Chains A and B, each alone.
Chain A
Amino acid sequence: MNEYCFEDLEVGKKESFSVRITEQMLDSFKDISGDENPLHCDEAFAKEEGYDGRVAYGMLTASFLSTLAGVYLPGRYSLIQSVEIKFAKPVYIGDELTITGEITETNDTYGLIFLKVTITDSSGKKVCRGKMQIGVKKRG
C-alpha cells in the first residue's frame, strides 16, 4: 500500500494496477448488492440480449476505483469525496482490466487531489472513464 501524503503529490502523478474479472466476483457482488438482474446473472439471457455473456456489474468495475484511491493513489491517507464515472463498454468474465489514475489538479487549502481515471480492457479499449476527488492527509 502506498503512503503518499499531500505534499508528495503533484499534477501528472500516475498510478495503475490490473485485475481479472471472475465469475465469483459477479456472484459475490450479487450477494452483497442484491442486484439479481439477469443481464449479470443469466448467461442465456445476456446472449439473447446481444451480449457475449454475463455482463459484469458496472458498479463492480467501478469498485476498483476504491482500490485505486485507497491502496495506490494516494493510498493509506485517502478519503474519497466524489466519483463521476461513465461506462463506455461492457465488461465480461475473464476480462483483465487496468485501472489508472492521474492527478490533474491539486488544492492546497483542503488537501485535495483530482484524478482523471480510466479503466481499459486487455485490448486497450476504455470500458470506464471518469473523475475522482480525494482528500489526502497533510504532513503538517
Chain B
Amino acid sequence: MTREEVFEEINLIFRDVFDDDSLVITDSTNSDDIEDWDSLEHINLVVAMEKKFNMKFNIKEVGQLQNVGEMVDLILSRM
C-alpha cells in the first residue's frame, strides 16, 4: 500500500470511531484537534487499525505517537 492508501484507510477508521462522516484528518492532526479523542477512543483507534492492517503494536510505541502522520509511518514501517 502507498502512504496515500494507508492514509485514506485511516481516515475511514477515524470517521467510524468518532461517528463523523465529515471528519478529514491530516498528518498533523492530533488529540487536541478532535474533541472526543480521549484515552478510550485512542484505544479504539489502535484496536481498529490493528484489525484493519492485520498487525500488532505494543503499548509503548502507540503511546508515543504525537499525531496521525506518525501513526501512518508506524503502520508503513510494519508492512
Residue ranges of A at the interface with B (Cβ–Cβ < 8 Å): 81-82, 107-110, 112
Contact = CB atoms under 8 A, between A and B. Distances in A.
B56 A110 contact: no
B56 A81 contact: no
Contact of A81 (B40, B50, B58, B59): B40
Which of B43, B46, B50, B56 counts the most A-chain CB atoms under 10 A from its CB? B43
Nearest to A111: B59
Contacts of B56: 108-109
14 contacts: A81-B40, A81-B43, A82-B40, A107-B47, A107-B50, A108-B56, A109-B46, A109-B47, A109-B57, A109-B58, A109-B59, A110-B43, A110-B59, A112-B43
B76 interface: no
State which size class the interface on B falls in. Answer: 10 to 19
B74 interface: no
Contacts of A82: 40
A108 B51 CA distance: 12
Given A107-B47, A109-B50, A109-B59, 17 more contacts: A81-B40, A81-B43, A82-B40, A107-B50, A108-B56, A109-B46, A109-B47, A109-B56, A109-B57, A109-B58, A109-B62, A110-B43, A110-B46, A110-B47, A110-B59, A112-B43, A112-B47
Contacts of B50: 107, 109
B31 to A, nearest CB: 17
Nearest to A82: B40
Interface in B44-65: 46-47, 50, 56-59, 62
A107 B56 CA distance: 9
